[in-house]
Amino acid sequence: MTKLTFYGGASEIGGNKILLEDKDAKIYLDFGESFDFGEDYFFEYLQPRTANGLEVYFEFDLIPKIPKLYSKDMLKKTDLKYEVPDVDAVFISHSHSDHMNHLSFLDEAIPIYIGHGTKDILDAYKDVYAKFYDYGYHYLLNTFKSGETIKVKHLEITPIHVEHSIPGAYGFIIKTSKGNIVYTGDLRLHGPKHKMTEEFIEKAKEAKPAVLLCEGTRMTTDVEHDYTEEEVHSKVDEIVKKSKGTVFTYFSMSNVDRFNSFYKAAVDNNRILVIDTNFARIMTALKDILPYPDPLNDPNIKVYFRYAKSCTFNENDYTPKERLYCHNMITFKEIMKEPDKYLMHIGFFKLMELIYLQPSNADFIYSMSEHFLEGEENKDQRVIWENWMKHFDISFHKVHCSGHMSKQEVLDMVKTIDAEVVIPIHTQNAAEFKKEHRNVKVVGNGDSFEF
């Protein structure tokens, strides 16, 4: 018997936690946090006590109560007795929180497998944002590369690189006693590294899978233009070229393709790209494995320093890790003198800098997921954001392309791979898969599927 149990990521976008059991082998595919995790019970400073482990999460059924899975520390305030884990491994597809954020709950003895680039990314972010990127301690943290085959008992797991909005993303082909399982992870086809996804699809087709676990983030009935990263760059370049003041932007620091789109637009329009010290630290940590320029030496980059302590921008006002960039420092004073010479990365929680920058004729390019601007749960922040834009008379633009395949691309992939059974995951529109495949199994969280 081969069995798949969905503890997260079914009938929802994100939160993937999929248990595969085959004979005596047990592995998880991802162990992530759902996007709406805890929002029904927690708010701002009303949060669980971290010292109490999983106590509150179990109370509200936010984490599945599974024996032989969690660490002693996580269970010490709960009614679930600690037992030696019986899970053979956890495989992580990429470093987004909805695929790996609950790793810290697991027993330290469970082997974890992640891509070598994924580990570097997580370590870089953990150094800068320790509170938000704690993936826990694990005795056996193994890294892999695309095309390697990992044996877990009789199972054979082969990671294949895919293109996503963050580097180091993989899908998996898993050989079981009952046939192959293909797990897509998250992937797209409209960026500069689309050939990686094409390779994955071809390998998945060759595997003739019994089951395809297929993400469907964008399986909406809406018809929209599927923007490419090249089109994003073209639009950004157009806005920067026309702007008569400072151009501000916000995009994910982990989206290297997006960074390069803005970097090129800045350079082509004789502007300096301004980043903060946190962004600079992440780039420095990853520049040897990802196509980031060196923020310490690149003439097209300046590192923004905020007011601190003495308000004199003395290097002693900053942490030792920040001081590394003092020789490449820029402050609001320099930007105010020549505002049309800069393209500045600035997020929601850094809007206070506008008080000092006092922008005029400025533009703001928002280049993140539509989730923030359109999600009802972010209404309060969105109103605040709009108020700041209106106060400083900043022209607001949205320029973005998704990290996920379009609906038609997903349907084409499903047709090409031609698995015996398709199980939609990471989607709220699972029924749409039935338009392309003869045998679609729609599951919810807590459901199992045997074959």
Alpha helices in 129-248 (DSSP H): 194-206, 229-242
Identity of the residue numbered 303: V
Topology, domain 229-398: Rossmann fold (3.40.50)
What pLDDT does 203 receive?
98
What pLDDT does 221 receive?
66
Phi, psi of 238 (to 5 degrees): -65, -45
Helix (H, G, I), strand (E, B) or coil at 228: coil
Total residues belonging to the chain: 451
- pLDDT digit string, tens, across residues 259-313: 999 999 999 999 999 999 999 999 999 988 888 999 999 999 999 999 998 989 9
Task: Report d(CA 399, CA 80) in Å as an integer.
Answer: 47
Phi-psi region of 337 (alpha: psi -120 to 50; beta: other; left: phi over 0): alpha
163 CB neighbour count, 10 Å cutoff: 26
Could you tell me the two tokens for 320?
Answer: 């030792």
| Sheet containing 342-345, strands listed edge to edge, beginning at the edge strand earlier in sequence | 329-330, 301-304, 272-276, 342-345, 247-250, 363-366, 395-398
- pLDDT digit string, tens, across residues 195-242: 999 999 999 999 999 999 999 999 986 656 778 999 999 999 999 999
Q: Whole-prediction pTM value?
A: 0.94
Phi, psi of 31 (to 5 degrees): -155, 70
Indicate the average pLDDT of the chain. Answer: 93
For the chain, list residues with pLDDT below 70.
Answer: 221-224, 370-377
Phi, psi of 126 (to 5 degrees): -65, -35
What pLDDT does 220 receive?
84
- The C-alpha R_g of the chain, in whole angstroms, comes to 23
With tokens 């922040």, the residue in question is: 381
Q: For every residue of 157-190, which 3-state class applies, written as one string? A: EEEEEECCCCCCEEEEEEEECCEEEEECCCCCCC
105 CB neighbour count, 10 Å cutoff: 19
DSSP 140-160: -EEEE-TT--EEETTEEEEEE
DSSP 207: T
Which run of H or E residues covers position 249? Answer: strand 247-250
What pLDDT does 373 receive?
60
157 CB neighbour count, 10 Å cutoff: 23
Task: Report d(CA 372, CA 392) in Å as an integer.
Answer: 21
- Of 158, 155, 149, give the one whose Cα is nearest residue 176: 155
Could you tell me the two tokens for 88?
Answer: 């053979």
What pLDDT does 380 receive?
80
Q: What angle do CA 278, 281, 285 make, to 5 degrees?
A: 145
The matching CATH number, chosen from 3.40.50.2300, 3.40.109.10, 3.60.15.10, 3.40.50.720, for 2-221+403-450 is: 3.60.15.10
Which run of H or E residues covers position 408? Answer: helix 407-417
Sequence spans of domains, the chain: 2-221+403-450, 229-398
